[in-house]
A and B are shown apart, each in its own frame.
Chain A
């Protein structure tokens, strides 16, 4: 396993473009969150301090930071599709197999890399959230801090799931640009299907089915936190039911997709003549 991981890391980290994209997708959100937690004096007129808004309180901070950081996953998605696209365009996938890598090992080396970066990213976000929270939060009891840390698990699963989808599209399209286009098409397709089902059946069932779609199920893991923060500010608006929690079945659906995408990538490579 370490051999496969180190293989792929060598391929990625010696490539300047991948290095920059990895930096943007994992290190940049880290800094943005860090900066936004500082007191910012806007041209001397007033002081902007996001911490005062209570958004860095435990446990809401877990929700906010993971949601924010997961928006940057798209940059690493480019790395994932290009790590397949480059292997095809340089024909190094052929050479790797000839040199004695099995097709299974080839897919696994990509998958391990995805897991590796997802874990690193989760740890980074976990650490930064914890330290900012400790600094700002009005309450720092242990039981409160660890409440909703399952957002971190959701974040990890979300990243692994999304990158596995990218890996599969990369294998399918063989070219990075097409693979990214496929992901965009899938996004549109999910909404068209949702609209169709709403129109033909009804909204309730359509929503339930939509929750099983790959992209939607990944989104469901960490829903947008803005409404939640707004609700804490205006407590009388309880009429809107808003379920933001991480549910076990949401995680199961995404893990199911992940397994399917990895398996299909392997099948695709297996039946293909290179």
Chain B
């Protein structure tokens, strides 16, 4: 796999505070990555360092093959950090022209990218007259101008209303579907869960996990069961070798697996034991449950 960003032992100290501690991970082409972590866990600082606006204390990072300087590499990257920053007295089109000049691409893509984010009809309005949602969409258009190899988004839905959040998510999904590598920092887990294939979990500047979303905790998932004869069911499950733990909450029985178990086989087995289920669902922990489990354990 072709690496896009490699981070090695990156550390950033602000006085006594260590915002990022000995962080290493790699971003490969074609995947959608999420950086997860509570507020103040070092997500934005890490992105700030690789985006040339924050100075690292130790460690190093390299974009692509490490042959180009950071600022030249950034010309092939599209990035949005926190709030959209543009010149308020310029129109959307003028702002994008300025970005084109910095990135060294020609102006031909401006209309196309404004179309993607739905701002084409407002391209001659001044930036200061835009709503926050429009500003954020303009920022995405600006990040896409150079058809970037990777799109870096830091809290892209922060401060938006539900409609704005929905619009931004749809745009991100569309971009991800086209095969663009995305690095998305967020503390909103459902946001990451919906689009990301890989995650890096940070807490207090330390990496807790990096890898595929599905492998975040070694779990084979669980069954949610309902049965009119609950007592027999619970008794049977507690003695079952494939089940590690049974939780009962009102009418719902949750059985945690310690090895892979096929739903059909499980149902058949219970039926043979004369236990008739009224409800059977096999699930994996949601990202939120996994994340809380991971951050609590450490």
By a CB distance below 8 angstroms, the chain A residues around B94 are 10, 14
A102 on the B face (CB < 8 A):
yes
By a CB distance below 8 angstroms, the chain B residues around A273 are 14, 48, 53-55
Interface pair B71/A97, CB less than 8 Å apart:
yes
Q: Which of A88-96, A125-133, A198-206, A239-247 contacts B (4 or more CB under 8 A)?
A: A88-96
A271 on the B face (CB < 8 A):
yes
CB distance from A266 to the nearest CB of B (A): 14
Interface pair B90/A274, CB less than 8 Å apart:
no
- Contact residues, B89-116 vs A (CB, 8 A): 89-90, 94, 97-99, 101-104
Interface pair A11/B71, CB less than 8 Å apart:
no
Contact of A90 among B71, B88, B99, B103 (CB under 8 A): B88
User: Which residue of chain A lies nearest to B14 when distances are taken between CB atoms in the complex?
Assistant: A273
Interface pair A97/B52, CB less than 8 Å apart:
yes
A208 on the B face (CB < 8 A):
no
By a CB distance below 8 angstroms, the chain A residues around B52 are 97-98, 102-103
| Alpha-carbon distance between A97 and B75 when the two chains are bound, in angstroms | 10
What's the interface size class on B, roughly? 20 to 34
- A-side interface residues, number (CB < 8 Å): 28
By a CB distance below 8 angstroms, the chain A residues around B102 are 7, 96, 99-101
By a CB distance below 8 angstroms, the chain B residues around A270 are 55
| Alpha-carbon distance between A16 and B54 when the two chains are bound, in angstroms | 32
In the complex where A91-B85, A99-B103 touch, is A11 in contact with B98 (Cβ < 8 A)? yes
B195 on the A face (CB < 8 A):
no
Interface pair B98/A90, CB less than 8 Å apart:
no
CB distance from A19 to the nearest CB of B (A): 10
| Alpha-carbon distance between A103 and B74 when the two chains are bound, in angstroms | 13
Interface pair B87/A92, CB less than 8 Å apart:
yes
B120 on the A face (CB < 8 A):
no
Tell me the total A-B contact number using a CB cutoff of 8 A. Answer: 81
Point out which of A96, A98, A103, A271 has the most chain B C-beta atoms below 10 A from its C-beta: A98
User: Which residue of chain B lies nearest to A273 when distances are taken between CB atoms in the complex?
Assistant: B54
Contact of A3 among B90, B104, B142 (CB under 8 A): B104
In the complex where A100-B72, A271-B55 touch, is A94 in contact with B85 (Cβ < 8 A)? yes
User: Which residue of chain A lies nearest to B126 when distances are taken between CB atoms in the complex?
Assistant: A14
Contact of A7 among B69, B89, B98 (CB under 8 A): B98
| Alpha-carbon distance between A16 and B126 when the two chains are bound, in angstroms | 13
By a CB distance below 8 angstroms, the chain B residues around A95 are 81, 85-86
| Alpha-carbon distance between A249 and B103 when the two chains are bound, in angstroms | 42
By a CB distance below 8 angstroms, the chain A residues around B86 are 90, 92, 95
Interface pair B87/A99, CB less than 8 Å apart:
no
A148 on the B face (CB < 8 A):
no
By a CB distance below 8 angstroms, the chain A residues around B55 are 270-273
Interface pair B87/A14, CB less than 8 Å apart:
yes
Contact with A along B28-55 (1 / 0, CB 8 A): 0000000000000000000010011111
CB distance from A120 to the nearest CB of B (A): 21
Interface pair B53/A274, CB less than 8 Å apart:
yes
Interface pair A10/B101, CB less than 8 Å apart:
yes
5 tightest Cβ-Cβ pairs between the two chains A and B: A100-B75, A102-B71, A100-B74, A95-B85, A91-B85
Q: Which residues in B have some Cβ–Cβ distance to A below 8 Å?
A: 14, 48, 51-55, 69, 71-75, 77, 79, 81, 83, 85-90, 94, 97-99, 101-104, 142
Give 10 CB contacts A-B under 8 Å: A3-B104, A10-B94, A10-B97, A11-B87, A14-B90, A92-B85, A98-B53, A100-B102, A274-B53, A274-B54
